[in-house]
Amino acid sequence: MSEKCLTFLRSKMDEKELAKLQALDNSYLIDFISTYVELCNPDSVFVRTDSADDVSYIRNRSVSLGEEQKLALDGQTIHFDGGSDQARDKKNTKYLLKAGQDLGKHINSTDREKGLVEITGYLRAIMKGKQMYVCFFCLGPLDSEFSILAVQITDSAYVSHSEDILYRPGYEQFKKNKGVKEFFKFVHSAGQLDGTISKNIDKRRVYIDLEDKKVYSVNTQYAGNTVGLKKLALRLAINKASREGWLAEHMFVMGIDDEKGEKFYFCGAYPSMCGKTSTAMLKGEAIIGDDIAYLRKREGEVFAVNVERGIFGIIKDVNSKDDAILFKILNGANEVIFSNILIDEAGVPYWIGKDGLLPHKGTNYSGSWVPGKTDVSGQEIPPSHKNARYTIRLKSLENLDANLENPAGVVVKGLIYGGRDSDTSVPVEASFSWQHGIITKAAILESETTAATLGQEGVRVFNPMSNIDFLSITMAKYIEMNLDFAKGLTQAPLIFSVNYFLGDKDGKFLNRMQDKRVWLKWIRLMADGQVGALKAATGLIPKYDDLRKLFEDVLGKGYTEADYVTQFTLRIPQNLAKIERVRNIYKEAKGISRILFDELDAQEVRLKEFQKQFGDYVSPLKLT
């Protein structure tokens, strides 16, 4: 560290905090931190090590500043984002690209030099009057080939506290990796505040600089825009994985037992609000992670880890019947950060879908709330936002798998892709092969929009691998990566699709919420050949007798042949329309492999052959 840099840092931090930085013995890291201390101009700097005292300092600081408020139960707090800061801001989340770089029309970007000038202007002196927090984390288990080190700079104690719950500590990992230069960097400021809420939402920006492995986030507090190690880090990781031959995916990791208790591990990719967390938390199964996974190949098998150690989950409709384990955590004396829900005068939390009656008044993200309260446009304000969240540590869960911190990861037996699809896909289906699965289950995934992102709900959106929002490479490269990942494997994991949202003509769901437990058990049994399947035009579907037995064994209820026919009828017109929609999208993209079009063409031929033989709607009872 130069004497000039040392003198400057002493003007912003005391000797204790400076000593924490010096102990890392990494001039590259300290230069990075010093650059943003100078640019953002905080009144002081706190350096968070892995110590319990430092963790407590930030947690208590968030409460003392009003970024979080204590609730009735010990450990529980509530954080409110502003009414216009309730979801990921897709429009203003952009990659900074040099002239000539092009990631494709589905990936939002801006000129790198112009973007850096803009974001630097926003960051200049943005922390004046505040304290800066410098925090060190590790993505993935410690001391692992999966591990990626990261540094978060922020002026939000709430963001720092959230990341402590969600991610492994990284200060000692930086010490072990003395002088490391490659790590992920995140710079965030909530900006000027109106009370505790980001004021200049019109200047909300989230910019990703792939060249410098750095993410900037300003004038926002919503965690999806600010907790750098979550989806922002996923963008950096996808780019890194593309260069190194592994996968960074928007996937849960969970263990599913057969009736003998033998556990297999699966990864699953679903867009937000499509049942991903509730699947990872299924009763009787074991959770490793609910959101982001890194996958690597070793000795002919696929291994996966959970990038995180906590859950930032959607709380809407979490109840004691369908989410018993999670409900217990959220209603006990555990460390929980609630965001954008309703609290009553006694500090008891409420949300849409929670057991019991709502209070007659309380406080939510809109301020003081009573039933019937409307916003400026006359729309009724719900008691909690549809995208309201909770943040918890996985170790709080009684169904946590013992391999969460296993540096080697777990062997993956199958990949599951699911979206919100009201009229096309059957509840569960296996692909014919790895290639067929990657193309027809993953690369053509569509999902109807929800409250998890800003914009209109209920619109069918193309979302390959449930990862389009986070791609930092072209779609052509991403599909190629996934296809090539099977090379060298002794036996590639099976690939499945699920759809919990199939409906009838009146919009009523044909699946009940707990039916997913049966679909997942069938997936587990398929993974080692304990059940057979019927060959449809789009993949392999369950046999009725197998499902009838599983409904009895797993849920203790009957399953009629009529329900089976309704749920697993092959809807040929809708499937053909989907192929046409997606084919047209890929025709406009550059460099897409011929393999994709060949696989879509082959599926279209099968569908038309079935249509000629059976008609537009094919009962599973006609398949053998």
Catalytic site residues? 274
d(CA 524, CA 256): 6
Going by C-alpha positions, the residue among 38, 26, 268 that lies closest to residue 149 is 26
DSSP E strands in 315-388: the ranges are: 336-339, 342-343, 349-350, 362-364, 367-369
Provide the token pair at 621.
């009872």
3-state SS track over 267-322: EEECCCCCCHHHHHCCCCCEEEECCCEEEEEECCEEEEEECCCEEEEECCCCCCCC
Torsion angle defined by CA atoms of residues 601, 607, 609 and 615, in that order, rounded to the nearest 10 degrees: -150
Q: Write down the residue that tokens 């304290």 correspond to.
A: 131
Going by C-alpha positions, the residue among 89, 107, 293, 118 that lies closest to residue 206 is 89
Reported residue count of the chain is: 624
Q: How many CB atoms lie within 10 A of CB 345?
A: 9
Query: Do 216 and 151 contact (CB within 8 A), yes or no?
Result: no
Q: Which letter, b or e, does each residue of 516-546 get, where b requires 16 or more Cβ atoms within 10 Å of its Cβ?
A: bbbbbbbbbbbbeeebebbebbbbbbbbbeb
User: Cβ neighbours of residue 107 under 8 Å, at least 6 residues apart?
Assistant: 95, 468, 471, 472, 474
d(CA 314, CA 339): 10
Residue type, 369: W
Handedness of CA 539, 543, 544, 549 (dihedral sign): negative
Q: Which letter, b or e, does each residue of 607-618 get, where b requires 16 or more Cβ atoms within 10 Å of its Cβ?
A: beebbeeeeeeb
Q: Write down the residue that tokens 């939402």 correspond to.
A: 201
Angular region, 317: left φ>0, alpha ψ -120 to 50, beta rest: left
Burial of 148 (0-12, 13-18, 19+ CB in 10 A): buried
User: Cβ neighbours of residue 619 under 8 Å, at least 6 residues apart?
Assistant: 565, 569
d(CA 158, CA 69): 11
| Residues linked to residue 257 through DSSP beta bridges, in sequence order | 263
d(CA 13, CA 5): 12
